[in-house]
Structure 1
Amino acid sequence: MTDPIDHVVQSAEPVLRIVEIFGPTLQGEGVHVGRAAHFLRLAGCNLSCRWCDTAFSWDPAKVDPERPPRTLTTQAILEQLEPRVVNPNEVAPVIRHLVVTGGEPLLQSNMLIELCRQLREFGWFIEIETSGSVSLGALGEVIDQCNVSPKLKHSGVAHRARLRYSVLNEFAGMESVAFKFVVQKPEDLDEIDELLAALSRPIHPSQMWVMAEGNASDVILERSRLLVDEVIARGWGLTPRWHTLLWNDEQGR
């Protein structure tokens, strides 16, 4: 006989702790830079980078009163993104590309599975952004792209917390994965070289992206100019941050 408590837990609808749902806008960085997409930002993070531009998603002291963390069911999120969930006769959205970000979205990976599965049944493309410090698990079966952004020393996060090589090797073994490093100066690229050498799986240069750190367009452009030649020499990609270059830190962009 099924335990009644187990039955309740197993049948409960998945819920997610989120900060905001917005779009369509542009994916501002990485392998799909410039593509139109919707964004789902989840609350909570296991790291605390000193320069984080979305600290409002995990730091209680920086919560934005206009978009505080809240709990939504999978169904409620689906209804905001995909009108055919409510009415199968509705026209499909023109933009069916979802970027799940944070914070660290993989802290809620099990709760994301059903959401991603249903969206893919409606023809959506699902992209996950992560620091690479939390395993993807079964979520990997229901997403299309994973963008892994390991943190460097300048993040201020302890080495043992930000670099879990067993987890990074899992990501390195995926087919649809890109690695994106936030960089402040050219010397940081040497640190990336050391990190890649420590992995047991090679990462092809075409999967490598570097992005200048900064929350203002002039800083992004200045640092990108300093980085570009060294990035090209390694065969990697240099990604902009369109959301910062176009709108700085405007909400919903």
Structure 2
Amino acid sequence: MLEINEIFGPTIQGEGKLVGTPSVFIRFGKCNFSCEGFGVEYETPSGIKKCACDTYYAVDTEYKDTWTKYKTYEEVVAKVDELISIYPYNYKIDIVITGGEPLLYWNKQEFQKLLEHYISAGHKVTIETNASLNLNFEHDYQKELLFSMSVKLSNSLEPLKKRVNINTLTSVLTNTKESYLKFVIGKDFLNDAKKEINQIISSIPKCDVYLMPLGDTADQINKNCEDVINMAIENGFKYCDRLHIRVWDNKRGV
């Protein structure tokens, strides 16, 4: 069973190495984190007020009744095919597997069939993950995946032992060619972020590191971006904006 919060697109990839690329997103429900420290306020369907990340609707199981349960990967492919057919692209559009935390489904047969289907068909497939869960690379198609690893820092308020998995980071970077790290930070967290990021990257194979501004609205992005840009310049990291939030705030399905 694949529990999916939403399937949407074509739209652009809003962040990371492939920012601006036309893509279809498959957003899985469930996450092993809550990331209350990111401070996005929301009210659950039962009326409880909480704080979490900007995809709380795919994280908080109180929204579970709004997720769609797909028994087979073919059902997911059929929905994606409807979206892909909207525009007459002359190339294979990118597929983004996101969440929540999609690697919670890594060991499910239908999830692997979904990945294999798109890799075999010639699509670029990105998995957006917090990279905290253990995983094994057992098939060649898995090594063609692009892992966009948004490792959480202490500003997420998640415990260190839970949020940083050096074995998984090393395994991903060793088995794939283009995978990378990205960190969401705000202007009030720069010094701690620098220390934590350097500690992480000193323990894993070399890869691209992107810094992104914290915020779930364009206004918050604007308040944080200049300081984050300067931090990237000063430390040799790459900066990446969050175009989907800058353009649409936290609107879903775009």
Equivalent position SS for 1:228: helix
Do structure 1's residue 98 and structure 2's residue 99 form an aligned pair? Answer: no
Distance 1:220 1:145, change over 3 A: same
Question: What TM-score do the two structures reach when normalised by structure 1?
Answer: 0.82
Q: Which runs of 5+ in 2 are unaligned?
A: 39-52, 83-87
Which amino acid in structure 2 is aligned with residue 70 of structure 1? T
- Which digits, 9 at most, give the CA deviation of each residue in 1:98-133, with x for residues without a partner? 000001101101332101211223222111011010
Q: Which runs of 5+ in 1 are unaligned?
A: 1-14, 84-90
Partner of 2:13: 27
Mapped to 1, the partners of 2:14 and 2:69 lie a distance apart of 26
RMSD over equivalenced CA pairs, Å? 2.1
Equivalent position SS for 1:25: strand
Q: How does 1:74-93 map to 2 (within 5 A)?
A: 74-82=73-81
Partner of 2:205: 202
Equivalent position SS for 1:24: strand
- Kept after mapping to 2: 8 A contact 1:109/1:137: no
Partner of 1:222: 223
- Which digits, 9 at most, give the CA deviation of each residue in 1:117-160, with x for residues without a partner? 11223222111011010134237743431111110001011111
* Offset of residue 239 of structure 1: 0.7
Which amino acid in structure 1 is aligned with residue 94 of structure 2? H
- Which digits, 9 at most, give the CA deviation of each residue in 1:67-126, with x for residues without a partner? x1221121111111236xxxxxxx877552100000110110133210121122322211
Distance 1:127 1:40, change over 3 A: same
Do structure 1's residue 177 and structure 2's residue 163 form an aligned pair? Answer: no
* Offset of residue 170 of structure 1: 1.5
Q: How does 1:3-152 map to 2 (within 5 A)?
A: 15-50=1-36, 51=38, 52-61=53-62, 63=63, 68-72=66-70, 73-82=72-81, 96-111=93-108, 112-138=111-137, 141-142=140-141, 143-152=144-153
Distance 1:139 1:244, change over 3 A: farther
- Kept after mapping to 1: 8 A contact 2:14/2:243: yes
* Offset of residue 169 of structure 1: 1.9
- Which digits, 9 at most, give the CA deviation of each residue in 1:1-51, with x for residues without a partner? xxxxxxxxxxxxxx3111110000010000000101000000111111112
Q: Which moved more, 1:207-216 or 1:94-103?
A: 94-103
Distance 1:93 1:106, change over 3 A: farther
- Kept after mapping to 1: 8 A contact 2:29/2:64: no
Equivalent position SS for 1:31: coil
Question: What TM-score do the two structures reach when normalised by structure 2?
Answer: 0.82
Mapped to 1, the partners of 2:139 and 2:230 lie a distance apart of 34
Distance 1:181 1:168, change over 3 A: same
- Kept after mapping to 1: 8 A contact 2:96/2:126: yes
Mapped to 1, the partners of 2:97 and 2:139 lie a distance apart of 13
- Kept after mapping to 1: 8 A contact 2:92/2:122: no
Q: Which has the larger radius of gyration?
A: 1
How many pairs were matched up?
Answer: 225
- Kept after mapping to 1: 8 A contact 2:30/2:61: no
Which amino acid in structure 2 is aligned with residue 179 of structure 1? L
Equivalent position SS for 2:9: strand
